[in-house]
Each structure stands twice: as C-alpha cells, then as structure tokens.
Amino acid sequence: ATTVAVATDPATGARLYDAAWFAPFSPASALDMVRRLPGFAIEQVDTSVRGFTQAAGNVVLNGQRPSAKSETIDVILSRIPASRVIRVEVSAGERFGAEYVGKAQVANVVLVPGGGMATTLEGSVRRNYAGRLYPEGSASVLAKRGKSTFNLALKVRNDNVDEEGPDRRVALPSGTVTETRQRVNRISDPTASLSGSWGWEDSATSSAHLNARASTERFRLDQSNRVVPAGGAARDDALSERATYEEYELGGDVTRPFAGGALKLVGLATRRTTDGRDVSLIDLAAPTGFAQNVLDHEAETLGRIAWSRSDWGGWSVEMGTEVAINRLASRVDLFALDTGGGRTRIDLPLDDAVVREFRTESFVSAGRALSPSLRIDAGLNGETSYLTVRGDAEASRRLSYLKPRVAIDWKAGPRWRVQASVKRTVAQLQFGDFISAAELSTDRVNGGNASLLPQRVWEFRASAERPILGDGLVRIETGYSRIEQVQDRVPTPEGYDAPGNLGDGSLWLLRTRLEAPLKGIGIKGGRLTLYGSLVPTSVRDPYTGHDRPFSYNSLFYGTAAFRQDLGGFAWGFNLEQATKAIGYRRDELDQQIPALYAQAFAEWRPDRRTMVTFTVENLLGTGGSRERLFFAPDRTSSDPVAREYRFRNRHLIPMLTFRRSMG
C-alpha cells in the first residue's frame, strides 16, 4: 500500500491525490487513476439526454467540463495517459459551476501544463463459452504544443456474447406445463468510433476547445429456439434482429475574460440514425410470424452562454442560459407473415410521427463561505419547453418549471465532512416514449403516448464522510424524494400499455461506501471496497389500487471488491448482487432476477508503462432469470393465468488485455 499522504486544501476542503499516491497501482491512464480514488465512483450519464446542463457528470478536467456530450467521461479519461496527470482533487461540486452544485463529490483531473506527446495503445481478446474469440482495441495520441493540446483517438469495441438456457410456460392455477423451449442467443455488437479534439488553455478565464466524433454500431442477434408444446409436435422457431446506429457530433466552447469574471460560450450539434430490421419466425418447416422495421432520425442543436465570477463581494456567482432544438422523426412498420411469404401490415397507435422540441433553460447561482468550516450555495433554474407531435397523433404543449436548489457544506471537526441539499428536478421526456413499437422477443407491444408529462421531484439529500485507516474513506448518504406525476406504465384505449403518468410517489435512499487499506491487518498492498444501496419506492398502482414499487426498481444493490498490489503484480476480485426488479405492465408482472456476479483479475506490470491483465468475467458461471406472470384480461384480476420462466447463462468469459503508454 502507498505511504504517500493524502493532502487537504485548507481553502476548499478538497482532498488532493498527488500523482505519487497512484504509483503503487501503476496506472496507464487518467481513468485508472480516477477509479482508484477512495470512496469515489464515476457517475454514469445518459449521453442521449437533451441539452447540455443536465448531462453533467462528476468529473472535470482542469476545473472545466469537457465540451463533448456523446462521449462518456470514462472514454475521455481513458485517452489521457497517466503521465500527463499532476494530481486529482475531490471536492464538493459547487467549485465547478452551477451544473455541479449539490453534487457531493466531483473529481478534478489536473493535467501537466508542459508540452510533449503521449500515446496509449490497448488491445484485448475475449473468448465466449462456445470457443469463439473476439478482439477489440483502441489507440490514442495526445500532443501538447505551447498552449494547445491535440487529441486523436480510434476505438473498436466488440461486445459479442453467446448465451443459452431453457424457458418453461405453465398454466395457473393447475401448474400444468404447456410449453418448453431451449434457446441459444448469438449476439454481435461491434462499434467503431473516431474522435478528435483541440484545446487551447491560457488561463482560467481564457480558453477554447473544439471536438468532433463519429461512431457506427452494427447490432446482430440470431436466436435458435427448440419449442416443445404439451401434447404437440416439437418445432424450431427463430428470431433475427439487425440494427445499424450512426452518430456524429461537433462541438466546442470559448471562454474569455468579461466584467471581472469569465464568459463562456458553448455550441453543440449531434445527429443520430437508427435503422432496425427484426424478424420472428414460428415453425421453420412452414414459417409464419412477424417482421418489424424501425427507422429513426434524431437531431439536436444547442447553444449555451454563461458568465461566472469567483469573487463578487465575497460571493461566487454564475448565470446564463441555454437553448436547444431537438427533433425525432420515427417510423415503425409491423407486419404479420403468412406461410406463403406474404406480409400484412399491422397498424400500431402512433407508429409514424415527428416529435419536435424547442427548449430553454436559464440559471443563476451564488455561493459563499459563511465561516472557515461552513459554505452555502443556492441557485434557481427556469426551464421552458414547447413540444409538438405530428403524424399519427397531433399534440402540442408548453411546459415551464422553476427549479430552486440549496446546498450546505460543513466541515464538522477535523475529520468529518457533512453535506446537505434540497433541490427540485424535472425529468426529461424520452422522445421514444411517444412512439409505439413491438418487442418480438417477448411477444408484446409497447404503446406510444403523445400526452406523456415529465415527472417533477423534490429531492432532499444528506451525506457524511470521514477518512479512516490513513487513506481510506467511509461515506454515508441518505435521502428522500417526493415525486409528482410518476412516469411508469399506463393502459391505452387500444388495449396496450405505454409510458405514462401515475399519481404522486416517494423514494427513500440509503447508500454506504467504505474503502479501507488492509496493511493494518497484515495484508500488504490490500484494499477492500464495500458499497450498498437501499432504495425503496412507492406509487399507487392504477389496476389494483394498492401501493407498489416503481417499475423495474431494484430495492437493493451491493458490491464488494478486493485488490492487492504487490510491486509489479496485482490481483483481485469483484462481487455484485441486486434484488429482483419487477415491471408492472397492463396484463403482466415482469420479474427480472439477477444472480450473484463475480469477476477476478490478475495484472502483470513489467514496467511502469506496460500492463497485461487476465480477467475472468462471470467467474461463478451464474445466469440471470426472468419470471413473467400473466393476467386476464389485465391485472385488475388478482390471480395470474400463466407463468413463464426464462433462464440465460453466458458461462465463464476469459479475457486477455495488453496496454502500453508512451511519452
């Protein structure tokens, strides 16, 4: 274990991890370093979220948010060699602007100011249970000359998976087996992306960035299905899914001194296309079935202007506005197939539509230290949205919301840090929820809902953390959310169910995270990380009239990780477990039951720039289960009429990875 102490900035309270602190882990990239931070986890942000403000995560570079949006922060960090990092700071989010106020932890990766060039190469090969090998890799070059930094990266991912398992369907209440199936899924999902960026850094109030990215993805699923009906002849069914995804993004920002502070302009344009073709065939000897074609075109164009000043009469202030124009044009064609190869189109409600949105969000925030140990930050966002739906349905509405927030940061004594916040948030409407489409793999239809409203939430959060055992950390977070217009599943007049709004609901939250070095109990270089999350939810069910959890909410999720670094060698394992998650649909309870998942790894570092890692995914060979309970005519009937059980196993998946950084 490292003997380098973790420093604390007396002015900001930030925990400072110098590059030397990470040395025992031999990190190859900034991503490796951020992942090693005690008590910190990278926030996963949905890159499809509309607008720039709501897509902020919890990692910044040199105190600034990357201007890219379609690329996740872990991908950006993976392209920065560890040799370019001076230190990583972890502090409350108010240091980094209005987008981060209320975030208890934000990591700031501080980079080397000098020039030079650095390259990172990574390649890996994965073997599935059927013996097929799947290679993938990435390469990035980072060059710094004067005040400019150039980055070019190519990444090829090969997420190919084979899985197999049985299905069983029984009639209730008798329990008689009506059908069994043996399914094998072969999934191929290669993705390639090319990205480049340029940054010019003069000072905290004078900088410019430009980034571009293009990516393509080819999804392919082939399913073979041996079906044995009770009292009938066995048959072979098949399912084929094909999808092509294309995405392009161009963005940038400029920061200039203005009125004693900094004025920042951000521009971004993103274009996405989805082209899907699905076919489900029943009895290959004389096939019938269904086919579905999906074509989506998405476009987003946004601009943002913000002014900030850190010393305005003792206050740090930021204000600005953002304008975004979004559009989705979607067409879904569902067909019934007959034995002669003929197609009959099945009309779905709202399967051909164009959704448009003109969205604005203005904000102001201010914060100051009330004492050396107490700081307060407050802000107000005003959001407006004009939405239109044209096509199979005609709808339009104007929405406007005020979103206040207050956050307090208190250094309670020499070791404890306490944070509390209250804020109002408004969820975004997913444009895909307006469109109807079939799920051929589950024999059901998801209806579209042009009248969907965003849910509104009052969030109350409190957290406390303190260092333990040297550079370890324990952190506890609690919270409560009061939710209006809970977005869940609702019935449609056509007999389907669709995304919709229920009544008011509630969410309680308890999260704990503990990271501890184990040298004190004789395990040299050992570190243990434990994480647990308990999230009970409640909303009134429209069918039963009783309270129940939100659809697909897992009550508990927990992980345990152990890692031991011994010079040029390291090994460890990760365990992951969650409770079942239930989807509450019109005529079905869809229960997804995860199994205990384990991963083990061993790393060899022949020098400080080279790493060879052998990983075994799904070490215990466990599979996931799914149980579906069906009701007739819907869940107003309390007794199910059928049960379907599905089990899928990917078995052990070994993977070998080589990584090399230069410069």
pLDDT in tens, 552-572: 999 999 999 999 988 889 999
Q: Compute the C-alpha angle 540/546/551, nearest 5°.
A: 55
> What confidence category does residue 149 fall into, taking pLDDT thresholds of 50, 70 and 90?
confident
Task: Quote the pLDDT of residue 629.
Answer: 96
CA distances from 559 to 269, 324, 464, 515, 618 (A): 38, 38, 20, 12, 14
- Asked if 631 and 52 touch (Cβ cutoff 8 Å), the reply is no
What residues contact 537, with CB distance under 8 A and at least 6 apart?
A: 505, 506, 507, 508, 549, 550, 553
Cα 251 to Cα 212: distance, rounded to the nearest angstrom: 6
Q: What is the pLDDT of residues 275-284, one digit of tens each?
A: 999 999 999 9
Least confidently predicted of 29-43, 65-79, 267-281: 65-79
User: 106-110, 151-155, 488-492, 572-576: which has the highest mean pLDDT?
Assistant: 572-576
> What confidence category does residue 52 fall into, taking pLDDT thresholds of 50, 70 and 90?
low
Average pLDDT on 502-509 reads 95
What residues contact 598, with CB distance under 8 A and at least 6 apart?
A: 573, 574, 575, 576, 618, 619, 620, 622
pLDDT at 305 over 50: yes
Average pLDDT on 72-88 reads 83
HEC states along 599-662? Answer: EEEEEEEEECCEEEEEEEECCCCCCEEEEEEECCCCCCCCCCCEEEEEEEECCCEEEEEEEEEE
Q: Is 369 helix (H, G, I), strand (E, B) or coil?
A: strand
Cα 72 to Cα 157: distance, rounded to the nearest angstrom: 14
> What confidence category does residue 437 fall into, taking pLDDT thresholds of 50, 70 and 90?
confident
Share of residues in the chain with pLDDT > 90 (%) = 58
Q: What is the pLDDT of residues 340-394, one digit of tens each?
A: 878 999 988 888 999 999 999 999 999 998 988 898 999 999 999 999 988 887 8
- Residue (of 621, 615, 617, 619) closest to 659 by Cα position: 615
pLDDT at 119 over 70: yes
Cα 581 to Cα 24: distance, rounded to the nearest angstrom: 39
Cα 422 to Cα 309: distance, rounded to the nearest angstrom: 24
The residues with which 578 forms a beta bridge, in sequence order, are: 557
- Asked if 448 and 498 touch (Cβ cutoff 8 Å), the reply is yes
Strands 456-468 and 642-648: unpaired
pLDDT at 3 over 60: no
Q: And the tokens for 213?
A: 């990215």
Average pLDDT on 490-497 reads 80
Least confidently predicted of 43-47, 272-276, 514-518: 43-47
Dihedral sign, Cα of residue 500, residue 502, residue 504, residue 506? negative
For residue 427, the 8-state DSSP code is: P
> What confidence category does residue 4 fall into, taking pLDDT thresholds of 50, 70 and 90?
low
Task: Quote the pLDDT of residue 560.
Answer: 97
Q: And the tokens for 542?
A: 């429209």
- Asked if 623 and 646 touch (Cβ cutoff 8 Å), the reply is no
| Prior bond of 135 cis (ω within 30°) | no
Cα 373 to Cα 412: distance, rounded to the nearest angstrom: 7
What's the pTM? Answer: 0.86
Dihedral sign, Cα of residue 74, residue 76, residue 81, residue 87? negative
Task: Quote the pLDDT of residue 276.
Answer: 95
Task: Quote the pLDDT of residue 226.
Answer: 95
pLDDT at 6 over 80: no
> What confidence category does residue 49 fall into, taking pLDDT thresholds of 50, 70 and 90?
low
Question: How big, in percent rounded to 5, are the helix, strand and coil portions of the chain?
Answer: 5, 65, 30
Average pLDDT on 97-122 reads 80
User: 61-70, 125-134, 355-364: which has the highest mean pLDDT?
Assistant: 355-364
Least confidently predicted of 74-78, 515-519, 651-655: 74-78
